[in-house]
């Protein structure tokens, strides 16, 4: 039996005296899964390649069986299973409404898994929302009732937890925080709008801006180790202390990120905004100036209801933990 990932190495309890939960995190290439008890002790952890299309539920059940075997329990001993999945998910009806990469449309994922696991309770939600729930329950948002996760990647994903509960909007179609316009008539977005937050503050936006500046300014020190083709979102952070062009890119990026953060802070007034994705690995180089910019613009100031900005802490595990948090919901 594995030791526990959350309670400092103490072994998970034997037997089924505690409530046990399974979390499955479906990605485009891999499904990761864990079994955890109510105290956060992990008794099994595994992954298998994702089968796209109609076979997805069987694939989930195959992983579930492996996890149950490793934990030495039966499906009937699970209190609930949480599953997160990319795409448009109707969590209320347990359906994948549409998931392009998984080649699924109107797919009753929760019902299929439930049937194949002998009737155990199964809940599903979108992967970005699950990550927000995971961070809120087990990660950087632990101890707060209201949190927002902003994940900086190719786009901007994320999710919102209000009073301890995942917020998804009507038919689970909300929380599209990357598609909030912060610059009317700005950079065109894949969603059809112009000037979306993710066009200015995603890791991809930072990379594109860096490449654009490098192409325009061959005197910048960034050319020492990168070209306009090899530069990434990390490049300007590496050079920000020694190169003016890099510093300017970071200033531009931080202002954009702060703009979206303050919008979300004014709308949701969470206690904490957690930043996830590769850019968040910059740690205090990102968070410290971002917190200052957010504090300077927060509606009504910071005295009454401050909003903390921090790095998300679960990394690639956020989905699995989120799936567990979904299963844990009363």
Binding site for its own copies (CB under 8 A): 88, 97-98, 145-146, 162, 167-171, 173-177, 179-184, 186, 191-193, 200, 255-256, 259, 262-264, 266-271, 296-297, 299-300, 304-305
Matching residue, tokens 């950079």? 187
Matching residue, tokens 């180790």? 225
Least distance (Å) from its own copies to the CB of residue 194? 9
Least distance (Å) from its own copies to the CB of residue 55? 24
Strands 30-37 and 42-49: antiparallel
Least distance (Å) from its own copies to the CB of residue 187? 11
Kindly tell me which of 23 and 276 has the beta carbon lying closer to its own copies: 276
Kindly tell me which of 75 and 290 has the beta carbon lying closer to its own copies: 290
Strands 156-162 and 95-99: unpaired
Burial of 284 from C-beta contacts in 10 A (0-12 / 13-18 / 19+):
exposed
Kindly tell me which of 10 and 173 has the beta carbon lying closer to its own copies: 173
Kindly tell me which of 36 and 258 has the beta carbon lying closer to its own copies: 258
Least distance (Å) from its own copies to the CB of residue 271? 5
Least distance (Å) from its own copies to the CB of residue 13? 35
Least distance (Å) from its own copies to the CB of residue 244? 21
Q: Whole-angstrom Cα distance, residue 164 to residue 326?
A: 11
Kindly tell me which of 165 and 247 has the beta carbon lying closer to its own copies: 165
Kindly tell me which of 33 and 155 has the beta carbon lying closer to its own copies: 155
DSSP string computed for 64-94: HHHHHHHHT--GGGEEEEEEEESSEEETTTT
Q: At 31, which helix (H) or strand (E)? A: strand 30-37
Q: Whole-angstrom Cα distance, residue 94 to residue 100?
A: 17
Q: Which of 82, 57, 63 is nearest to 138 (CA)?
A: 82
């Amino acid at each position: 039996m594995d030791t526990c990932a959350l309670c400092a190495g103490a072994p998970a309890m034997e037997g089924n005296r505690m409530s046990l939960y399974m979390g499955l995190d479906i990605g485009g290439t891999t499904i990761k899964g864990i079994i955890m008890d109510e105290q956060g002790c992990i008794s099994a952890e595994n992954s298998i390649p994702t089968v796209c299309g109609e076979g997805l539920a069987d694939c989930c059940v195959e992983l579930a069986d492996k996890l149950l075997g490793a934990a030495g329990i039966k499906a009937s001993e699970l209190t609930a299973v949480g599953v997160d999945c990319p795409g448009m998910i109707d969590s209320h009806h347990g359906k994948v409404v549409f998931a392009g990469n998984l080649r699924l449309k109107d797919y009753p994922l929760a019902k299929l898994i439930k049937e194949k696991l002998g009737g155990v309770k199964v809940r599903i939600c979108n992967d970005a929302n699950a990550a927000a729930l995971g961070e809120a329950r087990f990660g950087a948002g632990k101890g707060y009732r209201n949190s927002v996760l902003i994940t900086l990647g190719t786009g901007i994903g994320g999710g919102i937890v209000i009073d301890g509960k995942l917020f998804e909007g009507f038919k689970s179609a909300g929380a599209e925080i990357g598609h909030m316009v912060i610059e009317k008539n700005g950079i065109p977005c894949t969603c059809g709008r112009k000037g979306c937050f993710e066009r200015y503050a995603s890791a991809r936006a930072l990379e594109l801006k860096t490449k654009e500046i490098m192409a325009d300014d061959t005197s910048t020190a960034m050319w020492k180790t990168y070209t306009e083709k090899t530069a990434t979102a990390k490049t300007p952070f590496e050079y920000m202390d020694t190169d003016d062009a890099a510093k300017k890119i970071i200033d531009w990026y931080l202002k954009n990120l702060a703009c979206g953060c303050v919008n979300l802070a004014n709308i949701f007034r969470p206690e904490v905004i957690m930043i996830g994705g590769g850019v968040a690995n910059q740690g205090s180089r990102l968070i410290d100036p971002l917190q200052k910019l957010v504090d300077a613009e927060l509606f009504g100031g910071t005295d009454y209801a401050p909003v903390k900005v921090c790095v998300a802490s679960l990394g690639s595990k956020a989905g699995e933990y989120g799936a567990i948090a979904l299963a844990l919901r009363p």
